[in-house]
Amino acid sequence: MKTMTMPSANGVGELKLELILEEELGDKCGLYAKVTIPAGSVLGYHEHHGEGESYFVLSGEAVYDDNGAKRTIGPGDKTWTPSGSGHGVDNSAGKEDLVFMALIVKA
């Protein structure tokens, strides 16, 4: 499993990604990873085209932006962003890291 830290896309702070089955999935899947958004960080709003993305929250709480509709997500919550839609996650006011599984599938 490959672990990487990267600047948050369109946001604030950094994200930690633990890539899962990267070699095995190859081009069948855009991403399968355990993602950590540290308290104080924001994964900025972005759109998906030609792919959809799902999150399954493991721990923490943050504000999820689903095409402008905002709601708090926490352990056990799942999200789906189809191709042509957008989303973002704001953990800037969080007291703990938000940890979730992310899966990007091609449309």
Residue 74 belongs to domain spanning: 2-106
Number of domains in the chain: 1
- The pLDDT tens digits along the chain (107 residues) read 789 888 877 778 899 999 998 877 778 788 999 999 999 999 999 999 999 999 999 999 999 999 999 999 999 999 999 999 999 999 999 899 999 999 999 88
The pTM of this model reads 0.91
With tokens 């943050």, the residue in question is 62
pLDDT score for 12? 83
CATH of the domain at 80: 2.60.120.10
Q: And the tokens for 20?
A: 């899962």
Alpha-carbon 18 to chain mean position? 12
Q: Whole-angstrom Cα distance, residue 81 to residue 60?
A: 20
